[in-house]
Amino acid sequence: MTKKIVVFDSTLRDGAQGEEISYSVEDKWKIVEALDELGVDYIEAGNPGSNPKDLEFFHQIKENKLKHAKLVAFGSTRRMGKQVEDDANIQSLLNANTSTVAIFGKSWDFHVKNVIKTSLKENLEMIKESVSFFKKKGKEVIFDAEHFFDGVKSNPKFAFETLRAAVESGTDWLVLCETNGGAFPREVYEITKKVAKQFSVAIGIHCHNDGGMAVANTIMAVEAGATQIQGTFIGFGERCGNANLSTIIPNLQIKKGYECIPVNQMPRLTSTARYVAEVSNVALDTRMPYVGKSAFAHKGGMHVDGVIKVASSFEHLKPEKVGNERRFLMSEISGRSTILKKIQKIFPKLQKESPETQSIIDRLKELEHKGFQFEAAECSFELMVRKHLGKYKPFFQVENFTIIDEQPLQKGGISSSAIIKVNVDGKQEITAAEGDGPVNALDRALRKALEVFYPELTEMHLTDFKVRVLNPEEATAARVRVLIESTDGKDIWTTVGVSTDIIEASCIALVDSIEYKLLKDIEMKFKAFM
C-alpha cells in the first residue's frame, strides 16, 4: 500500500520571513486556496501573536470553507516565568480559530542557556505546560522542536527530554527542526531514526536550506520514518529558505512511491508553483526542479536530437506529469531539427525540405544577427514565423506614441508619462498614462488603450524586464535588447525587442507580448469549441 506523507506548507509563515517577501491578507487567502486545491494537508498561515496582519487573517477564518487543508496558527511555548494562561501569545494562538496549533520550543541547550537564558528544567516546564494547555482546549498540537539536530549534537540527553516533555503532555506530532540548515543527509537520517525508535508519536521534518541540502535532508528523514514534511511551496524562508515542497513532493511521490498529494492533482504542481510566485511578486527561478521554465528545456544539438528520438534520453521524467512542458531552445548551437519542431508546433505540415522552412531559418539568422535572441523569447519567435509566412493578422497597430520624462517627484514614484494612439480595425483610441519610468508608462498607456477593445488584457501584467546592451564599443550606436516577461496568472511568456533606442526596443517587445496574449486566448477558445 502507498504510504501517505502529510504535507505541511509554511509559505505564509516561514516563507513570509524570507527577504523581499510580504503578504497582504488577500494574498494569503489566494495562496491558501491554491494550496488547498492542490491537496496540501496543513497550511501554516502565520503567527497571530507576532503581528496584526496575521491576527486579522486568523479572525477571518470562521467562515472558511476549505476543501481539504487545515489551517495552522503558529507560536512559541509560554514565556519563561509566566503562567501559561497569562501569556499573551498563547492567548492569541488559542483565539486564532484553528483546530490545529504549531508551537515551537527550544531543544538545543545552547539556545536555552544563551538566548532565552533560563534553566533546562524551566524550558522543559514551558514545553509541558504549553502543550498540555492546548490539548486541554481540544486542539491538535504540532510540537516543533527548534534546533533539534544541533541540540542532539550538543546535548542529546536534553534534546530527547524536550521531545519526551511534549509527548507526555499529549502532542500529536513531533516535528524535528533543522533550523540552522547546516546538517547533512546522513545525520538527519540517523537522528530521525533514533527518534522514531523511541517514540510512537507521528514525526515531522522541518529543514532549512543553508547548506543546499534541505530537500535531501527532508527525503532522508522520510526514509527514516517521518510522515510529515514541512517546507514552503517554492522554497522561500529565512536566509537561504526552507525545504522546497514543489521539489520534494514529486521526488517522494513519483520517484519514491509515497503519496503526498492526490495522484490526479500532480499535473497542477507547476501552475501552483507559478501562481504562488506570482502572488508573492517574485520571478520563479527558471532552473527550479520540476516546475521551472527551464526544467525541461533542451538546447544543445545532440540533446535536442536525442529527446526528439526518445524523450527519456535527456529527461528524468515526462514534463506533463508535473504539468510542465518540454521546450526546445533556439540558437545558433541548436540544430535545424529544433527550429523545425518549433515551426511544426504552429504549422504541422511544414517539413525540413519545405521552402518555407528554409525561408524562416534565413529570417531567424538575419534577426539573430541584428541582436534578437529567441531562445528566451519563444513567443516572439512564434509571432515572427506567423508574420513571415503571411499567416498573421495583427490585433492592433500602434500608430504613434510620445513619452514625457518628468523629474522624479520628491515624494517618489511617478517619473514619466506616455501618450499613445492605437488602431483596431480602423477604430482609433488615444490614451495617456503615468508610470514609474518610461517603459512602465508606455506599457500602462498601451494596455489602457487596448483594454477598450480587449477587456481580457486586464488579467495580464509584466513580471520582468531585462535590458542588455549589445555592442557597447559602438557607443551611442549601441543596440539594446529588451526581454519582457508577462503573465496573466495562468501562463508566463517572454518576448523580445531590439533597437538602437531602448524605448523602441521595449515597445516592440510590449506589442509582441500583448499580441501573444490575444492570440493565445483565441486559440484556447477555438480548442474548447472543437
- Interface positions with Zn ion (CB under 5 A): 14
The one-character DSSP state at 470 is S
Measured from the CB atom, is 230 or 440 closer to Zn ion? 230
Measured from the CB atom, is 14 or 27 closer to Zn ion? 14
Beta bridge partners of 297: 327
Measured from the CB atom, is 110 or 453 closer to Zn ion? 110
- Smallest distance, Zn ion to C-beta of residue 243, A: 9
Integer angstrom CA distances of residue 213 from 87, 216, 248, 344, 381: 36, 5, 12, 41, 38
Which residue, chain included where needed, has cell 510522515? 227
Residues 434 and 301: their CA atoms lie apart, in Å, by 45
Q: Is 44 helix (H, G, I), strand (E, B) or coil?
A: strand
- Smallest distance, Zn ion to C-beta of residue 17, A: 8
Measured from the CB atom, is 14 or 512 closer to Zn ion? 14
- Smallest distance, Zn ion to C-beta of residue 472, A: 44
Measured from the CB atom, is 14 or 515 closer to Zn ion? 14
Q: How many CA atoms lie within 13 A of 337 on its CB side?
A: 12
Measured from the CB atom, is 209 or 499 closer to Zn ion? 209
- Smallest distance, Zn ion to C-beta of residue 445, A: 44
- Smallest distance, Zn ion to C-beta of residue 146, A: 8
Residues 86 and 83: their CA atoms lie apart, in Å, by 5
- Smallest distance, Zn ion to C-beta of residue 176, A: 12
Q: Which residue is nearest to Zn ion (CB)?
A: 14
Residues 486 and 497: their CA atoms lie apart, in Å, by 14
What the block records as the C-alpha cell of 173 is 506530532
CA dihedral of 14, 291, 218, 123, whole degrees rounded to 10: 0
For 449-483, b/e burial (b = at least 16 CB within 10 A) is bbeeebeebeebebbebeeeeeeeeeeeeebbbbb
- Smallest distance, Zn ion to C-beta of residue 118, A: 22
Measured from the CB atom, is 14 or 87 closer to Zn ion? 14
- Smallest distance, Zn ion to C-beta of residue 241, A: 10
Measured from the CB atom, is 14 or 375 closer to Zn ion? 14
Residue type present at position 453? F
DSSP-assigned states of every residue in 246-276: HHHHHIIIIIS--BSS-GGGGGGHHHHHHHH
- Asked if 223 and 236 count as a contact pair (C-beta separation under 8 A), the reply is no
Measured from the CB atom, is 15 or 371 closer to Zn ion? 15
- Smallest distance, Zn ion to C-beta of residue 212, A: 16
CA angle, 238 as apex, 104 and 69 as ends, to 5°?
Answer: 60
Which residue, chain included where needed, has cell 508573492? 280
